[in-house]
Chain A
Amino acid sequence: MFTLLATAQTSAVDKVFDKYSGKEGYTTVYISSFMFNMLNSLESDDPDYNEFKKATAGIKSIKILTQEGGNSEAFGAELLEMLPRSEYQEMMVVKDQDEDVLFLAREVGGKITEFLLIVSGSGEDVLIAIQGDIDLESISKIAAGLDMPGLENLEDIEDLP
């Protein structure tokens, strides 16, 4: 009971979710550490699943906040305000015609403890927050299992000198 009272910091991202979950026009998805622990304890022969397990070994939770239609700019501005650069380092911004993707990371002791994606544009805004001990390398390999630019070239490998 005393550990509950230890002043554990609620992170800024949690406050965003606190504020917006349940609000009209917003959808939240929450996958808890309880769920991840369960998934990580399951044995499987499926290589995809094992890859998933490796990537999510340190992940405590995934939270997704989606804003449908409506005030994209205000939401974006609010997020910027609630997620100060002092805590969340801007890692990368990828812009293409349909949307902007902003990557933010919060580091503690050389490890990434929170990894955020903010996608804005194309009618809906999404905030994805991955919390825990994050292994970006393993996570990036997950996409290798799906559509990845260049993957199709594997087929042509035999044709190259």
Chain B
Amino acid sequence: MLDRFYLGETSLEEENILQDYFSSASIPEELLPDRDLFRAMGTAGDSVAVPEGLNQKILDVIDQQEKKVVRTRRISVFSLSGLAAGLLVVIALYVGYFNADTPPRFAQQMNDTYEDPQDAYEEARRTLAYVSAKLNTGTNELEHVVHVSKTTSDPLKSLSKINKGAKELNLLGQLQHVERIERQ
């Protein structure tokens, strides 16, 4: 019967008989490959019972997966925008620093002329002495100008104060000066 099966000449009834035969336990060794074949065919023929609600189960699993994806995406967007905002602030500050006309920038452009404090001291002192000398020359002359003492402006008040110091020493000089004039 097997030979006829392979030739495709068996009827359905006969195929069933073969199926039942191969389903039974004891099968001679030489027929084992045939049994495997019939077994495979048998399962292929039956429709597999679909577990109830499999459709729903699959949909649920898909939903879960989607939720996971959405969740992670939302978090990354927020943190990214926060990061971007922070970065923008840093950039703005950086650019602002370079554009603003600030004293520190000026100080960067102009470096201390002297590295050695001693040199700086000498130059500073020399300069202040020069300024001072010029000031005193001026204020000495101002002695003769009456309205200086009447001034209410603060800078000029300082000047007249300066003058006091110069005055004492100069008095002596003026006395001699006056003497000289009288002799002329």
Contact = CB atoms under 8 A, between A and B. Distances in A.
A117 interface: yes
Contacts of B141: 94
A148 B133 contact: yes
A82 interface: no
A62 B166 contact: no
B103 interface: yes
B43 interface: no
A47 interface: no
Contacts of B161: 136-137
A143 interface: yes
A35 B114 contact: yes
Contacts of B114: 31, 35
B110 A17 contact: yes
Interface residues of B, number: 56
Q: Which of A30, A145, A152, A157 has the most CB of B within 10 A?
A: A30
Interface string B133-172: 1111111111000000000011110110110011001111
A18 B139 CA distance: 32
Contact of B102 (A10, A36, A152): A10
A143 B133 contact: yes
Nearest to A2: B93
Nearest to B128: A142
Nearest to A131: B103
B100 interface: yes
A80 interface: no
A79 B71 CA distance: 67
A150 B166 contact: yes
Given A117-B134, A137-B158, A142-B129, 20 more contacts: A4-B102, A4-B104, A10-B103, A10-B106, A18-B109, A30-B111, A31-B124, A35-B124, A39-B120, A52-B128, A62-B124, A89-B153, A92-B139, A115-B131, A136-B161, A144-B132, A148-B169, A150-B171, A157-B172, A160-B175
19 contacts: A8-B103, A21-B110, A31-B120, A35-B124, A39-B120, A49-B121, A52-B128, A92-B159, A101-B134, A103-B134, A103-B135, A112-B158, A136-B159, A136-B161, A139-B131, A141-B165, A148-B136, A149-B170, A154-B169
Question: 3 closest A-B pairs (Cβ-Cβ)?
Answer: A143-B132, A153-B172, A150-B170
